[in-house]
Structure 1
Amino acid sequence: MSTDSGRGPARWVALALAGLVMALSVTLVVAAATATGRGGSAVATERIDTTSGGVPIAVAGSFGTAAAAGDPLDPFTSSADGDRVVSAVLADLSDYWTATIDAAGGTALRSPTGGFVSMDSAAPAGSSGSSGGGALCIADPAQIAGNAFYCPAQDGIVFDSAALVPVLLGSYGSGGLAASFAHEFGHAVQAQVGPTPADRRADPDRYPALLIEAQADCAAGAFLAAASAGTTARVHLPVASLTRAVAPLLDFRDRATVAPGDPTAHGLALDRLNSVLHGFRAGGLACWAMTTADLSPTLGRAGVLTDPPVTPRYGTTAAALDAAAASVSAFAGTPPAAPDPTDVERAVTIGQFAAGAAVARATGRAAADDDVAAACFTGAWTASVFGSAPAGSLGSWAGDADEALDLVRSRPGASFAELAAYADGFHGGRAACS
């Protein structure tokens, strides 16, 4: 893959900041992404149509040369190409929320007054193509490396064209890019319909950051529902792509050591999935009605160790599987099933609770002969031990519920319905699996 002269090392440093591994030799074609990300491979019909136009995007630093007319866009080598893709997504988001709020008889949605700004986080200050400064709430481009922000004071969205847009498209596909920007656009809508920044300042206990971020995740879920139903003009997202689409929201989770009252709290992966599901199922307007009473976060859950020791709980994976077999058998009231060896192999890179989840999944699958029911059973078993298990056993570490979710979604071909079933089982128990 080519980069503009003299910029390669700096650009890959910026990409590394996003914490993701990509095949750097891939040239991305937006119309039909082929990269494989978490949650499976791209689907041929997953695409973002840039021919229908988009919203205006201001540029605070750029790199590369835009694709010539008729050539495929390549956000890896040109920020202008990535900006066109983001512009199309933001246009669909604007259309979706305008129609949603209008249908409810609410105040007409206006475009964010601060607009949308593309920033090259890898550009050295003062270099050609660099603004030499920031934009909106970002003073230094390095502050936004691998990220995007809604800036409340300036009412605008700024994003990194160097280490966010290419990474999202390369690792998560068009759906992952759409979901990530749907979260940020959700904040822009939130600032108009409430809770507004003024609401938060007046009553911070009622509107903690965890709720504000949950509402934005909910907004992303509502938009994904519209896109997967085929009602968005530019974002084309088949249902089979939803698992990968939500993956960046789940991957960019809080550390388990973050307190639920932290001003930067977003939630653990399961928490974020729950909020996405709320919007996906109930629609966009339900997001702004969410309160702290609607949250039951695993972040900060009592009874779990938030900062576990470096050494694993069990000396071997086999010992963790034995412990899981006993726990799952007691929960199911039947002998446990042997886990899929490939699940156990994947669990090694996730954690010992994931190995336990492999036993639970196999047991649920043996009982119901259905992958969705198996995921639900896994969630129900996880909830039965999470926060109530003796110290040092499965269920006693704060990341355990996320490990089980990661095991479910790491399986090739894992469906969005399986992710949803895991969450339903966790919160509703085995009754939710009927």
Structure 2
Amino acid sequence: MVRTGGYAARLPVLGALLAAVAVVSGACSSTTDGQPLTIGDVAGLPVTHFESGLRPDAPKPDVRIQGITGSTEDRLAAAAIADVTDYWAQTLPAVFRQRFAPVGRLLSYDPDGTKVEVCGGSTADAAMNAFYCPPEDMVAWDRKLLLPLLRERFGPMAIVTVLGHEYGHAIQYRLGPKAGIDENTSTIVKEQQADCFTGTYFRWMAENNSEYFVVSTSEGLNQVLASLFFIRDEAGQSASDHGAHGSAFDRTYAFQLGFERGAERCAAIDQADVDARITEQPFHPEDNNDGDAPINEEMMALVQQSLDQAFAGAGVDGPRIVAGGGSCPDGPATPPATYCPDTNTVSIDLAELYQLGQPVDREAEFEGTESAGGLGDFAAFAEVASRYTQGIQQGVGATLDDANAGLRTACLVGAWAGAADGDGNVLRLSPGDLDEAIAELLRPRSLIAADVNGHPVANGFARVEALRVGYLKGSEPCTRQYG
């Protein structure tokens, strides 16, 4: 996040922010002290908690894979290919009235092992990769580096996610005109469609249709979203670049679109659809330090100003951001930022926010080692904003200590981010900022999607969706959808 070149006009008022008194949604919710809150459903499915992965009684995959080994990763990959094949064998005729043919060639390779010539290149040059090759109708994956890293970092469903995505590309080419795919289709459209198709596959799995896998709608889908976050493009890449896959915000959006709306909606994704909502963009000439702002008192004063302007239409006094160690004298403590209802202040621990706001260490991410960095500046600012919006919610009489409050808070943080992404703002989002917020939302103890006591909503799917709703649609849906 960066300060704009000049302070011109007021931020766009967020409009009718909240009803005078918020009505708690009728969805079922529960809370255990110190534990995440469970509420409602996930796109119409119950919120479930169990270990996701390969079924103990899963059949032996009837697929022929070149180079396959007996490793855990290859066994998961083989099951994933067999499973996603079953899904599309049912879906292609049912949705698109088209006969299905499975992918013609499957390849598991070690980039450091025997070289295999594929798709005009070599597996020796395809480390940390999985891909679909249209001329050979082939799905291939790196079993030595990529799949073990995904499984160790995010669990078994990360492998299923990646291979589901690659199979989605094969489906695109089978659909052709029905998916709007031809030689002129941009990479970003193809990638958004493939992520969307992956979402439809996981919906089918979450509905207990898979013979091979089970996935919970809480921790299981969290693994999926975390793996999509991991394979995001670098901040500052342009969506028009050849090979662009999208930011984490873009990729999770497409996955959730498929999960919620189905394969037919995915096939309707075209350039106009992508251009209207894609967030991936190159850095602005004024984005110093790759858009990473310092976490200091001056920036916190600008965050205060930005929030005050954004929520000026709420008709209540926004809280003051104060140096208070991240806790309240007689109230909750959710460091590094805490909303204190008695004084209508946001108490912050600047030193802890500084650590959280350090740039993401991408090298450590890919090495699977402990990151020396943080989550980025916007993750820190968004945590402060989440506590600020608690004050706005209290001012209009909304409940602060249930799961609706957590989702409403994430939505309002998204609305603030959307307001700060317009013209003439005291602060402006930089490429990667929304991804930093998603990284925070996917943490077990996310503060952006937490109530006043720091209890986050249990499932990351709902957290990310709430932020996206606010960012794309403003504050009005935050009340309508989240009570």
1:159 aligns with 2:175: no
Q: Work out the CA distance in 2 between the residues paired with 1:337 and 1:43.
A: 38
Q: Is the 8 A contact 2:129 2:142 kept in 1?
A: yes
Amino acid at match of 1:297: I
Determine the structure 1 residue equivalent to 2:101: 110
Q: Indicate the SS of the match to 1:410.
A: coil
Q: Is the 8 A contact 2:95 2:263 kept in 1?
A: no
Q: Is the 8 A contact 1:117 1:135 kept in 2?
A: no
Q: CA deviation at 1:262?
A: 1.3
Q: Indicate the SS of the match to 2:475.
A: helix
Q: Work out the CA distance in 2 between the residues paired with 1:311 and 1:208.
A: 26
Residues 139-158 of structure 1 mapped to structure 2, 5 A cutoff: 139-158=121-140
Q: Is the 8 A contact 2:73 2:151 kept in 1?
A: no
Determine the structure 1 residue equivalent to 2:119: 137
1:388 aligns with 2:415: no
319-328 vs 230-239, which moves further: 319-328
Q: CA deviation at 1:389?
A: 5.3
Q: CA deviation at 1:313?
A: 5.9
1:239 aligns with 2:217: yes
Amino acid at match of 1:408: L
Cα distance change of structure 1 residues 320 and 251 upon mapping to structure 2, 3 Å threshold: farther
Determine the structure 2 residue equivalent to 1:401: 434
Instruction: Give the count of matched residue pairs.
Output: 360
Q: Work out the CA distance in 1 between the residues paired with 2:96 and 2:430.
A: 46
Q: CA deviation at 1:312?
A: 7.0
Q: CA deviation at 1:315?
A: 4.4
Determine the structure 1 residue equivalent to 2:38: none
1:175 aligns with 2:182: no
Q: CA deviation at 1:404?
A: 2.2
Q: CA deviation at 1:430?
A: 0.7
Determine the structure 2 residue equivalent to 1:335: 318
Amino acid at match of 2:87: Y
Q: Which has the higher helix share?
A: 1
1:190 aligns with 2:172: yes
Residues 10-25 of structure 1 mapped to structure 2, 5 A cutoff: none
Q: Work out the CA distance in 1 between the residues paired with 2:268 and 2:320.
A: 42
Determine the structure 2 residue equivalent to 1:354: 379
Cα distance change of structure 1 residues 389 and 357 upon mapping to structure 2, 3 Å threshold: farther
Determine the structure 2 residue equivalent to 1:264: 243
Q: Is the 8 A contact 2:234 2:247 kept in 1?
A: yes
Determine the structure 1 residue equivalent to 2:59: 52
Q: Work out the CA distance in 2 between the residues paired with 1:230 and 1:244.
A: 18
Listed as ranges, the gaps of 5+ residues in structure 2 are 1-47, 327-333, 338-352, 359-373, 446-457
Listed as ranges, the gaps of 5+ residues in structure 1 are 1-41, 67-77, 124-131
Q: CA deviation at 1:211?
A: 0.6
Amino acid at match of 2:407: V
Q: Work out the CA distance in 2 between the residues paired with 1:318 and 1:142.
A: 50
Cα distance change of structure 1 residues 293 and 312 upon mapping to structure 2, 3 Å threshold: closer
Determine the structure 1 residue equivalent to 2:31: none
Q: Indicate the SS of the match to 1:159.
A: strand
Q: Work out the CA distance in 1 between the residues paired with 2:286 and 2:213.
A: 40
Q: Is the 8 A contact 1:112 1:188 kept in 2?
A: yes
Determine the structure 2 residue equivalent to 1:223: 201
Q: Is the 8 A contact 1:61 1:120 kept in 2?
A: no
Amino acid at match of 2:172: Q
The alignment yields a C-alpha RMSD, in angstroms, of 2.7
Q: Indicate the SS of the match to 1:277.
A: helix
Which structure's relative contact order is higher, taking Cα pairs within 8 Å and 6+ residues apart?
2
Q: CA deviation at 1:418?
A: 0.6
Cα distance change of structure 1 residues 305 and 198 upon mapping to structure 2, 3 Å threshold: closer
User: What is the aligned-residue identity percentage?
Assistant: 26
Amino acid at match of 2:125: Q
Amino acid at match of 1:93: V
